[in-house]
Amino acid sequence: MISISDSALTQLRDLLQKQGRPEMGLRVFVQPGGCSGMSYGMGFEDQPEEGDAISDVGGVRLFVDSVSARYIKGAEIDFVDSLMGGGFTVHNPNAVSSCSCGSSFDTGGDAGTARGCSH
């Protein structure tokens, strides 16, 4: 479903350890918004929601709702560190266009209606 690069896994594990909650999972989702129509979101949660796809990638639990899964199937989460700072990025093979900031994308088709952000 979704892969996570080694550099992103290192950052995620460090964040979970700093919070003292290594058992938490990472919710990955898409939501309407951004200049290309859809945007990515991520956040830590204690438990998955009903209907979530749940996977373990390198010891990090991932929670993805069924609609978001259609948009980000096959995507890779990476962590990029540069002179301008570091951050998580999503490499999405389903995106046919994206904005220059990389946080907004369009799949060019209707994969369903993304959920609104509640995080």
Give tens-digit pLDDT for 2-24. Answer: 999 999 999 999 999 999 998 89
Q: What residue segments make up the domains of the chain, in order of their start?
A: 3-106
Cα–Cα distance for residue pair 23/40, rounded to 1 Å: 23
Give 47-95 pLDDT, tens digit per residue. 999 999 999 999 999 999 999 998 889 999 999 887 777 888 888 887 6
Q: Report the candidate in 48, 29, 53 with the shortest Cα–Cα distance to residue 39.
A: 29
Q: What pTM does this model have?
A: 0.76
Sheet holding 25-32, edge to edge: 53-57, 60-64, 25-32, 38-45, 104-106, 97-98
CATH of region 3-106: 2.60.300.12
Q: Which two tokens stand for residue 60?
A: 């990090």
pLDDT in tens, 91-110: 888 766 455 544 544 455 55
SS3 14: helix
